[in-house]
Amino acid sequence: MRSTYIIMLFCLAGFGTWGQTQDFSWYQSDQPFETRANQLVSAMTTEEKISQLSSDSPAIPRLGIPEYNWWNEALHGIARNGKATIFPQAIGLAATFDPVLAERVATAISTEARAKFNVSQSIDNRGKYAGLTFWTPNVNIFRDPRWGRGQETYGEDPYLTAKMGVAFVQGLQGDDPKYLKSAACAKHYAVHSGPEALRHHFDVSPSPKDLYETYLPAFEALVREADVKGVMGAYNAVYGDPSCSSEFLLKELLRDQWGFDGYVVSDCGALGDIMRGHKKVATLEEAAALALKAGVNLNCGYTYGSLAQALDQGLIDESLIDQRLKQLYMIRFELGLFDTADTNPYANYSADHIHSDAHVALAKEVAQKSIVLLKNKEEVLPLDRNMKNLYVTGPFAASVDVLMGNYYGISSNMVTVLEGVADKVSPGTSLNYRMGAMAFQPDINPLNWAPNVAAQTEAVVCVLGISADMEGEEVDAIASPDKGDRKNLKLPQNQIDYFLKLAEKKIGPLILVIASGSPVSLEGLEEHADAILQMWYPGEQGGNALADVLFGEVSPSGHLPITFPKNIEQLPAYDSYDMAGRTYKYMTAEPMYPFGFGLSYSSIDFSTPVANLKKIKEGQELKISIDVANTGDRDIEEVIQVYLLPKDKTKGLPMYTLLDFQRVALAAQSKQRLTLSFDSEDFDYVGADGKTTWVKGQYEIKVANALPSSRSLALGAKAAETVKIQLH
């Protein structure tokens, strides 16, 4: 069987006939992967070894090694590689507060990945975006809402990010004891969240507290809990050393302390930045040597093409090349790329798995659960699907672009808001549509009848927002002079003007739907909207999901994974990585909408919580029992959140810390008992020196369905009675 596989491999790769091959020991699937990797690397010449350290690794015909391109993306579905199911953008997935759902999404993605890989192999497509090594997920902290790539993250909280990220990695990598389904990669390591325009030379020196409390926990969790197989080094420097040549980040923390045993890849072009951007060295040979020594296995870019010269100059030795290459080939062996189909449980996935009905249904479910209801004045939502007339308008009502965000695949089943509403509303309802306003520039025609239609309909659904044209990566967002980042949090002025005209003309409820991957300031707009829904970039089923929410087939259950400020003036300087004044933990200004906030079509009540301890010592476990009741007449899902609040505000501790969250399903007029358990380590804080410490004193634990701030409660959130504890 093994010989048959090699013959097939050579024919597919165009390597010639069997007579030109030999019986390669690294194809013996009964041998340990490490043994096979050692044998394979030992058989290579120096030139061949160096060639395999680049992301576009060429074939080595004489050794039976096909070409392999490591670069692939799967942020919210297989990206840039043709037909695939497009799930909601990562920030929308985070709004579900549902790690189980995140793992289901990633499992569907890895299933499609295997199917696409198998089909790609059959037509000898081995190029970029056709492999099984995904540079996903992005677990950077969305510390500032201006960052264009924040849409790729799971929000501003390290705990939520870690939980969602771990689940996503587990879904991508599968649960087979021997083989990887695909290989995930945690990025961008580390302390990376803009500004995009400065990323190639920016140096970040966070306080030890901020580093270990905010910027590193998700990466550590993905390594320790999910055994993520890849880590991508960031463009920026940390404490003066470029991330991709930092022995502190890549050796001391990642491998020595956390026990990482996978591969490290540079962000694309980042190794060249060691010389050009950060000016750490004078030559590419020196840059390549620094990166290799620090622990970068794989170069996305061309700098490792200088490793031969670095070797000649004595900057590195060949044993280091061997070590880095063996770590790379361990991944390829774990993916089963050198084994026969009968040994690999994923090798026979067919094209039927790609964009299957089950995956499309899952995309719709995630979109439904990601939508956040921010306002519902006098319960104008849900709408009656049998209303006489309805007006859908706005520059993104019929837009496919806002369904996708960035890093997206291609689907033949994209459902816009207009299409979703048209399919959901009664056939007898008079449904009208006009774009009403251009997305990012003033209307060409000064005579615009669109606002006047609002005076003729029972309700108006207006879809405003931004898109990847306004926020994204440095190279993507051409509409922004700041290269991907947002200059402010407002909507484009023409959209604001149009909405205000609608508000003047309307005779019924005006429902504002916001499409974005980051917070939008609604100052001057919020008071004119009767209801507000945040739909993010909801994926291919976004229109159907929103229609289900609008007409009450599903109660909204998303919650904000990031604080929505009132305006940009509430934010610290964008290029400061100091967490003071940032996120729900340290922001003292009153936001427009707090972290964790989200309304539903029902109401809940909490019982008085009961705790087993009031005084807690290190090593003890705290248990809290509490009932949550749905007091309304609609079935809902609710996100129950648990926060720790210190009574002493002088010790530099966060004002709030998210300890736990649970998504619970509650039928109408039902209740559910929750038992919340916390180890004493859950109450540890990170001190000014970056070390975890037990801080004695008085604390409060609050169980709520949003950040339990006065602003949340004023907006309609609910919180249980406070549990008072003492750490001693």
Active-site residue set: 267, 471
Burial class (CB in 10 A: 0-12, 13-18, 19+), 1: exposed
567: left (phi over 0), alpha (psi -120 to 50) or beta: beta
Four-point Cα dihedral 215, 216, 221, 224, nearest 10: 170
Q: Which residues pair with 391 in a beta bridge?
A: 432, 460
Q: Distance (Å, rounded) from C-alpha 230 to C-alpha 300?
A: 13
Element (H or E) spanning 266, and its range? strand 263-266
For every residue of 61-126, DSSP letters joined together read GGGTB--EE--B--SSS--SSSB---PPPHHHHHTTT-HHHHHHHHHHHHHHHHHHHHHHHHTT--
Instruction: Report residue 268 as tokens.
Output: 């694309």
Q: Which residues pair with 643 in a beta bridge?
A: 658, 702
**Beta pairing, strands 657-666 & 636-646:** antiparallel
Instruction: Report residue 372 as tokens.
Output: 């956040």
Q: Report which of 563, 722, 710 is spatially closest to residue 642, judged by C-alpha positions.
A: 722
Q: Report which of 222, 225, 193, 218 is spatially closest to residue 206, judged by C-alpha positions.
A: 193
Q: Distance (Å, rounded) from C-alpha 221 to C-alpha 454?
A: 50
Q: Report which of 45, 83, 82 is spatially closest to residue 63, judged by C-alpha positions.
A: 45
**Beta pairing, strands 621-630 & 671-679:** antiparallel
Which amino acid type is present at position 335? L
Q: Distance (Å, rounded) from C-alpha 210 to C-alpha 195?
A: 18
Asked if 683 contacts 616 with a C-beta cutoff of 8 angstroms, the reply is yes
Coil, helix or strand at residue 156: coil
Instruction: Write the CB contacts of 190 (distance below 8 Å, at least 6 apart in sequence).
Output: 215, 216, 219, 234, 238, 243, 249
Instruction: Write the CB contacts of 222 (distance below 8 Å, at least 6 apart in sequence).
Output: 139, 162, 165, 166, 169, 184, 186, 228
Q: Distance (Å, rounded) from C-alpha 145 to C-alpha 10?
A: 50
Q: Distance (Å, rounded) from C-alpha 107 to C-alpha 350?
A: 15
For every residue of 565-610, DSSP letters joined together read -SSGGGS--TT----TT-HHHH--SPPSB-TT--B-SS-EEEPPPE
